[in-house]
Structure 1
Amino acid sequence: MKRILVLLAFTALTSAPAALAQQGGNPWANQFSPGQAREAVREGKTVPLSKVFKQLEREYGGYQLGAELYSRDDGSTFYEIDWMTEDGRKAHFTVDAQSGSVMNRRGG
């Protein structure tokens, strides 16, 4: 019985990080594939990521390190963007993908 409990605990602990990684560390969001992201922009459901990058560059300087598009169960979409500022500090932005406005900034 103890072996079964240990095995179940081990399985739960090893699978949870993989599930979170697939969702960008956000358990309440689903990551878009590159094709889904292009389709959302083409359909006008999200602003192009290039537009968001230009806005961040104007406001903060620097450049993009990585970006992902996510959706929540309520239908809202957002970008998670890692950014390097001009002075070499790393920042993380959460941007509303429908309006392009910064919702949250950490670091930098």
Structure 2
Amino acid sequence: MKITSACEEFLSHCRVGKNLSEHTLRAYNIDLNEFSAFCTQTTAIADCDRHILRNYLTYLFDKKNLKETSIKRRMACLKAMFHWLESEELLANNPLRDGTRCVLLH
């Protein structure tokens, strides 16, 4: 499954299954589109590993000059998506499984 498909399916789940607010859905959509663009849309979601996520964090800090709170929101969105993909058995290895936060942010 490509990153773009994974993001679309997760957003659909959030809209229908979780009934999230329009504000939250809009923020998730922005965050996931930015992540997809960073990884290139042809990248398979299964290829997203800690190395890619570390590079994404560096990009957010250094290139986008985002504040820590904005970066944490983006990572929370990704963590929710990867957790959902894993729970739906669409992803075998979740790169953001418990304990990864410390590894990525240091």
Smaller-chain TM-score range? Answer: under 0.3
Instruction: Tell me which of the two structures has the higher relative contact order, counting C-alpha pairs closer than 8 angstroms and 6 or more residues apart.
Output: 2
**Larger relative helix fraction:** 2
| Greater C-alpha radius of gyration | 1
**Larger relative strand fraction:** 1
Q: TM-score, normalised by structure 1?
A: 0.27
